[in-house]
């Protein structure tokens, strides 16, 4: 295991891209906490419903705070106490049962009983994709409610993969998903962590792959407390949806670690087969090694470790062959990209719309 400084530097040659951030269960009654909060003067874990004093975390290298919390079990809710007065959810929360402003919940990922041990994924050229929105696909609007529709999608529609619009926790109960603010927490009203795992497990049992739409170009405005903790965002660039994420400025290494860990987290903890990276033209990175290459390498390495075929797909209107060119030829090594030009041209022809993307 690399020492603490190597892990915190976010060097992909030494860092095991597993989820360390947030509250990770050590056993049934203790968790290890790791959070990047260089702006904090003090940081403690407040256990909701406990009469005990908040448990202080130790300040470590590179702006990280960490510690071990005893006598805490899965299902317990907690917050971080910033500078003795400010209560904030965990930025790497695995579950937000009360929404974006409420406390986070301890989740033990090892308690779910997967049945897809023999699933190995499939080549990308075999994907016939049905994109869907969890909240509107069924009257119930949940992960579990979709399971009964899988035979219809496979046998009647003829698909081989579903693509979920973003499910990272966002405000309220009605949202496309592109205002997510807790990247590691599946939307609570959709069914939370176990609901999503049941859906993925059922998809694999039905021979269907699962694509996860992830948003790494911005976070939504409501419930977005990352700026209180550190320079997760930058004013150097602008996006039309919100503050650009700091991938190449001062102290950007831990931000990159945060996002790359999230990509691997979906692959490892939720058995997701492919990631669709939203609007990569809004991911600004002039580092020597682009974030997209880092994500692709980390996800593919995790797939190899798990003996599963996994893919990274970009949504891009840049018409840049580098995105899907092999790393050996100077590319980022992603598996594919959406052909937005074809979509926009076809839409304009069929609808006569000539505004925005369709000018």
* Bridge partners for 90 per DSSP: none
Check whether residue 352 and residue 272 sit in a common domain. Answer: yes
Give the span between the Cα atoms of 328 and 266, in whole angstroms: 26
Check whether residue 149 and residue 290 sit in a common domain. Answer: yes
For the chain, which ranges sit under pLDDT 70?
Answer: 1-19
Check whether residue 106 and residue 158 sit in a common domain. Answer: no
Q: What is the pLDDT of residue 359?
A: 76
- For the question of residue 278 being annotated catalytic, the response is yes
Q: Given 110, 132, 156, which residue is the final one in a domain?
A: 110
Query: What is the helix (H) or strand (E) element at residue 274, kind and residue range?
Result: strand 274-277
Q: What is the pLDDT of residue 80?
A: 98
Q: What is the pLDDT of residue 17?
A: 43
Residue pLDDT, tens place only, 255-290: 999 999 999 999 999 999 999 999 999 999 999 999
Check whether residue 103 and residue 179 sit in a common domain. Answer: no
- For the question of residue 3 being annotated catalytic, the response is no
Check whether residue 67 and residue 154 sit in a common domain. Answer: no
Q: What is the pLDDT of residue 215?
A: 98
Check whether residue 121 and residue 71 sit in a common domain. Answer: no
The number of domains in the chain is 2
DSSP characters over 65-118? EEEEEES--TT-EEEEEETTTEEE--TT-S--TT-TTS-EE---GGGS----TT
Q: Given 110, 144, 173, which residue is the final one in a domain?
A: 110
Question: What range defines the domain where residue 36 resides?
Answer: 4-110
Q: What is the pLDDT of residue 5?
A: 38
Q: What is the pLDDT of residue 179?
A: 94
**What is the CATH classification number for the domain harbouring 337?**
3.20.20.80
Q: What is the pLDDT of residue 15?
A: 39
Q: What is the pLDDT of residue 340?
A: 79
Cα 72 → chain centroid: 25
Q: What is the pLDDT of residue 12?
A: 36
Contact 16, 2 (CB under 8 A): yes
Contact 190, 134 (CB under 8 A): yes
**Catalytic-role residue among 273, 278, 294, 302:** 278
Q: Note the pTM of the prediction, 2 decimals.
A: 0.92
Contact 302, 272 (CB under 8 A): no
Q: What is the pLDDT of residue 9?
A: 35
Q: Given 110, 127, 143, which residue is the final one in a domain?
A: 110
**What is the CATH classification number for the domain harbouring 74?**
2.60.40.10
**Catalytic-role residue among 253, 315, 317, 320:** 315
Check whether residue 26 and residue 160 sit in a common domain. Answer: no
Check whether residue 222 and residue 96 sit in a common domain. Answer: no
């Amino acid at each position: 295991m690399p020492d603490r400084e190597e892990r915190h530097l976010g060097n992909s040659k030494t860092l095991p891209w597993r989820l360390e951030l947030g509250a990770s269960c050590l056993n049934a009654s203790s968790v290890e906490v790791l959070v990047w909060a260089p702006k904090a003067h003090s940081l403690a874990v407040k256990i909701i419903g406990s009469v005990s004093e908040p448990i202080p975390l130790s300040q470590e290298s590179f702006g990280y705070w960490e510690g071990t919390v005893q006598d805490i079990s899965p299902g317990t809710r907690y917050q971080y106490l910033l500078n003795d007065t400010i209560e904030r959810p965990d930025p790497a929360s695995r579950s937000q049962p009360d929404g974006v402003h409420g406390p986070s919940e301890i989740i033990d990922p090892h308690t779910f009983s997967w049945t897809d041990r023999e699933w190995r994924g499939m080549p990308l050229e075999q994907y016939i994709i049905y994109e869907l929105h969890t909240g509107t696909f069924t009257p119930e609007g949940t992960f579990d409610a979709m399971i009964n529709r899988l035979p219809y999608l496979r046998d009647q529609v003829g698909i081989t993969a579903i693509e979920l619009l973003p499910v990272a926790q966002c405000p309220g109960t009605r949202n496309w998903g592109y205002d997510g603010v807790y990247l590691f927490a599946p939307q609570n009203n959709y069914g939370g962590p176990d609901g999503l795992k049941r859906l993925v497990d059922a998809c694999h049992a039905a021979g269907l792959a699962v694509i996860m739409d992830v948003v790494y170009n911005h976070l939504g405005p409501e419930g977005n407390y990352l700026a209180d903790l550190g320079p997760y965002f930058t004013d150097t660039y602008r996006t039309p949806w919100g503050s650009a994420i700091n991938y190449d400025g001062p102290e950007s290494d831990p931000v990159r670690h945060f996002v790359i860990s999230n990509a691997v987290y979906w692959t490892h903890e939720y058995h997701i087969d492919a990631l669709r990276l939203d609007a990569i033209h809004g991911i600004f990175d002039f580092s020597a090694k682009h974030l997209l290459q880092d994500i692709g390498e980390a996800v593919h390495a995790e797939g190899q470790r798990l003996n599963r075929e996994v893919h990274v797909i970009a949504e891009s209107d840049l018409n840049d062959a580098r995105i899907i060119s092999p790393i050996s030829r100077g590319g980022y090594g992603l598996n594919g990209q959406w052909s937005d030009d074809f979509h926009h041209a076809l839409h304009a022809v069929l609808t006569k719309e000539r505004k925005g993307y369709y000018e």
